Amino acid sequence: MRKCFSFLAMLLLVQIAKAQVDTAAYRTIANAIQKKYAPDKRSVYFNVRFKADSVFVESTSQQAITSFENSFPAAEKAKLIASLLPAQHLNGQVYGVTTISVANSRSQPFHGAELMTQTLLGTPIQILKKQGGFYLVKSPDGYLAWTDGGAIALMDGAKFKAWQAAKKIVFIADYGHAFTAASNSAARVSDLVAGNILKFISANGGFTKVGFPDGREAYVPTEQLTDYTTWVKRPLPTADAILKTAQTLVGVPYLWGGTSIKGVDCSGFTKTAYFLNGVIIPRDASQQALVGQALDVLENDSISVEKCLKNLKPGDLMFFSAAKRRGINGGRVSHTAIYMGDGQFIQSAGMVKISSILPTAANYDEYQSKTLVGARRMLTEVGKPEITKVENHNWYLSKQ
Q: What is the pLDDT of residue 399?
A: 60
- Sheet arrangement for strand 217-221: 188-193, 175-179, 217-221, 207-211, 197-204, 168-171, 225-227
Beta partners for 337? 318
Residue 14 in this model has a pLDDT that exceeds 60: no
Q: Could you read off the pLDDT of 298-325 as tens digits, one per residue?
A: 999 999 999 999 999 999 999 999 999 9
Flag the least confident range among 10-24, 168-182, 260-274, 386-400: 10-24
Q: Domain 166-232: which topology?
A: SH3 type barrels. (2.30.30)
Q: Could you read off the pLDDT of 79-116 as tens digits, one per residue?
A: 899 999 999 999 999 999 999 999 999 999 999 999 99
Task: Yes or no: say if 113 and 106 are a contact pair by the CB < 8 Å rule.
Answer: yes
Flag the least confident range among 1-5, 63-67, 115-119, 320-324: 1-5
Q: Average model confidence (pLDDT) for the chain? A: 93
Nearest-CA neighbor of 52 among 83, 87, 78?
Answer: 78
Span 192-203, mean pLDDT? Answer: 98
Q: Could you read off the pLDDT of 115-168 as tens digits, one per residue?
A: 999 999 999 999 999 999 999 999 999 999 999 999 999 999 999 999 999 999
**Burial grade of 392 (CB within 10 A; 0-12, 13-18, 19 or more):** middle
Name the pLDDT band for 15 (thresholds 50, 70, 90): very low
CATH 1.10.150 assigned to domain 21-85? The reply is: no
**Where are the chain's structural domains?**
21-85, 90-163, 166-232, 239-377
Span 358-378, mean pLDDT? Answer: 97
The contacts of residue 232 (CB under 8 Å, 6+ apart) are: 278, 389, 390, 391, 396, 397
User: In degrees to the nearest 10, what's the CA dihedral of 354, 360, 365, 370?
Assistant: 130
Task: Yes or no: say if 220 and 171 are a contact pair by the CB < 8 Å rule.
Answer: yes
CATH number of 239-377: 3.90.1720.10
Whole-structure pTM value = 0.92
Name the pLDDT band for 20 (thresholds 50, 70, 90): low
CATH number of 90-163: 2.30.30.40
Say if 166-232 and 239-377 have the same CATH topology.
Answer: no
The DSSP bridge pattern shows strands 168-171 and 263-264 to be unpaired
- Alpha carbon separation from 248 to 52, 237, 266, 316 (Å, rounded): 55, 16, 15, 18
Residue 342 in this model has a pLDDT that exceeds 70: yes
Name the pLDDT band for 77 (thresholds 50, 70, 90): confident
Q: What is the pLDDT of residue 397?
A: 83
Q: Of the segments 58-72, 257-271, 386-400, which one has the largest average pLDDT value?
A: 257-271
| Percent of all residues in the chain with a pLDDT value above 90, rounded to a whole number | 86
Q: Could you read off the pLDDT of 237-270 as tens digits, one per residue?
A: 999 999 999 999 999 999 999 999 999 999 999 9
